[in-house]
Amino acid sequence: MPDGAEPAPPPDANKGTSYGRGAALLSALIGVTGLLTYAFHSLAAHALGADEYGTIAVLWAAVFLTASVLYRPVEQLLSRTIAERQARDQAIGSALRVAATIQLALAAAFTVAALLLRGPLEGRLFSDHTTLYWAFIGAVVLYAASYSARGFLAGQGRFGLYGGLVLLESLSRVSVAIVVTIGVSGARSVTALAIAAAPLVSLFVVPWALGRQVRRITTRDRATTRGGEPDFTLAHGMSFAAAVLVIMFSEQLILNAGVLIVKLDTHNNYLTALVFAVLMIARAPLQLFQAVATTLLPYLTRLMVRQQGEPRGGDFGRSVRLTVIACLAFGALAVIGVLAVGPAAMELLFGSEFDYDRIGLVLVAAGTGLYLAATTLNQAALAQGRARLAALTWAVSASFFVAFLLIARIEVVREVEVAFAATTVLLSALLYAVYRVPVKPGGAVVRPGSTEELELRLAAADEGS
């Protein structure tokens, strides 16, 4: 975590919090959200049984793979752009308009594609359950608004409201899971509808949270816009969003493709549910770490604006180093934890029908620490303006993960565990290499071996001496 001076709050964001306080507050709220997510899946697994819970696991994986891939690029775009433009005292109205245009286009494109592909989606993926198919469409469309709100709140530094939004979403799901556990007819359909309705419920926080803030921003934009100030164009937004789209797609392949590949390859709901439950070891810490990642990107972006000559030094480099060390330490503790009580804890959470072995849990736990470190380096690369290089790194790593699952011929659950651990080693190493590439003071990447790189290294040596 960063030490030293904290960045000043953005203009007209007096209610926002600094990075340290924001990360702590959001970590607490998302920590509760993570526990509620575990509770939802635990209750659903016990109430539905392994076979029916397997179909819910497929719906969950499909929803969050699709929504994260499509909409988190705009969340990251808003978070980084609002932070950067406010640090430069520039208007953000154009960034909001561009982000809304991209998000609406993505939601419309998804809806058309899902309707055209109804046959294979409903038949093969959701085992001919119509309710699951419509729950999938409804949830993904509603997440467009939810992710836009998250990006706006993160860029403004309003992390308490960000945490409230995701907490309300999880509360709505677990409430339905409790009702299902008590006993209702059509329990699987009710559980599926809870997944679809959750993003809509979370938006109840948006009108009162954003209404006055948007009016204040619009007024300030008109007052502060100067002649010649660079406008945020659709081309600019699309370029960044396209790179992050590749990152999000690759991330979701690594986290969720194993579940879907096992389902399509074996048509076995028990194995699907088992793989999903094992990967929850990685998903739960990642959900908690979302708080750090969410606050880290706007914080590092503001630091990049203020210390253009030190893209890896000063508070920027110290923040990245300490966060990576903390992630690796967490991974080590997770390995110790699953060695001690892993199989027993998994049976307690998901039921005695599921059978786990210690070696596989250790592989996933170790991979989780490396994955968290890679996520930190990714946020640093985005803050440095290296979205394209980061996207290439993620694409290579995700391709390796999928290729391993398709080529390897070992027990199916072990395949996913080994593939995840190996992929996190590759991903973290490649992102560290991207982070270490020298940059110009303006943020552009310098070609390795070029004269510009030599000049920057000589300048850095002079400053050090």
Residue carrying structure tokens 């400053």: 463
Whether the predicted pLDDT of 255 surpasses 80: yes
Residue pair 365/334 in contact (Cβ under 8 Å)? The answer is yes
**Structure token pair of residue 266:** 């074996």
- For the segment 84-115, what is each residue's pLDDT rounded down to a tens digit? 887 777 777 788 888 889 999 999 999 999 99
Whether the predicted pLDDT of 140 surpasses 90: yes
More confident residue, 290 or 120: 120
Average pLDDT over residues 143-149: 90
Predicted local distance difference test score (pLDDT) of residue 4: 40
Q: For the beta carbon of residue 180, count every other beta carbon within 10 angstroms.
A: 22
Distance (Å, whole) CA 385 – CA 372: 20
Number of domains in the chain: 1
Burial 116-144, CB ≥16 within 10 A → b, else e: eeeeebbeebbeebebbbbbbbbbbbbbb
Report phi then psi at 186, rounded to 5: 65, 45
Please indicate, yes or no, if residue 13 is contained in any of the structural domains. no
Predicted local distance difference test score (pLDDT) of residue 6: 39
Q: Is the pTM higher than 0.85?
A: no
- Which distant-in-sequence residues (6+ apart) come within 8 Å of 383 by Cβ? 80, 297, 300, 301, 303, 304, 316
Please indicate, yes or no, if residue 282 is contained in any of the structural domains. yes
Residue pair 259/57 in contact (Cβ under 8 Å)? The answer is yes
Please indicate, yes or no, if residue 389 is contained in any of the structural domains. yes
Q: Fill in the DSSP letter of residue 124.
A: I
pLDDT mean across residues, the chain = 78
Predicted local distance difference test score (pLDDT) of residue 259: 80
Predicted local distance difference test score (pLDDT) of residue 400: 96
* N residues, the chain: 465
The conformational region for residue 395 under phi > 0 = left, psi -120 to 50 = alpha, else beta, is alpha
Distance (Å, whole) CA 291 – CA 210: 20
Whether the predicted pLDDT of 218 surpasses 60: no
CA separation, residue 306 to residues 1, 83, 181, 379 (Å): 19, 12, 53, 17
Distance (Å, whole) CA 316 – CA 352: 47
Q: Where are the alpha helices (DSSP H) in 307-411?
A: 314-350, 358-383, 387-407
Please indicate, yes or no, if residue 5 is contained in any of the structural domains. no
Predicted local distance difference test score (pLDDT) of residue 290: 72
Average pLDDT over residues 450-462: 45
- Which distant-in-sequence residues (6+ apart) come within 8 Å of 295 by Cβ? 19, 22, 23, 26, 154, 159
CA separation, residue 126 to residues 66, 234, 264, 447 (Å): 15, 37, 11, 47
Residue pair 143/73 in contact (Cβ under 8 Å)? The answer is no
Query: Quick one: three-class SS letters along 238-304?
Result: HHHHHHHHHHHHHHHHHHHHHHHHHHHHHCCHHHHHHHHHHHHHHHHHHHHHHHHHHHHHHHHHHHH
Please indicate, yes or no, if residue 10 is contained in any of the structural domains. no
Average pLDDT over residues 442-464: 45
62 burial level (CB within 10 Å; 0-12, 13-18, 19+)? buried
Query: Quick one: three-class SS letters along 59-113?
Result: HHHHHHHHHHHHHHHHHHHHHHHHHHHHHCCCCCHHHHHHHHHHHHHHHHHHHHH
- For the segment 54-91, what is each residue's pLDDT rounded down to a tens digit? 888 888 888 887 888 899 899 989 888 888 887 777 77
More confident residue, 58 or 400: 400
Residue pair 282/420 in contact (Cβ under 8 Å)? The answer is yes
Predicted local distance difference test score (pLDDT) of residue 110: 95
- For the segment 412-427, what is each residue's pLDDT rounded down to a tens digit? 888 888 999 999 999 9
CA separation, residue 387 to residues 77, 345, 393 (Å): 11, 39, 10
Please indicate, yes or no, if residue 295 is contained in any of the structural domains. yes
Predicted local distance difference test score (pLDDT) of residue 212: 54
Type of residue at 21:
R
Please indicate, yes or no, if residue 125 is contained in any of the structural domains. yes
Domain that holds residue 81: 19-464
**Structure token pair of residue 317:** 């480099």
Distance (Å, whole) CA 163 – CA 169: 10
Average pLDDT over residues 319-331: 91
Please indicate, yes or no, if residue 3 is contained in any of the structural domains. no
- For the segment 179-191, what is each residue's pLDDT rounded down to a tens digit? 777 765 567 788 8
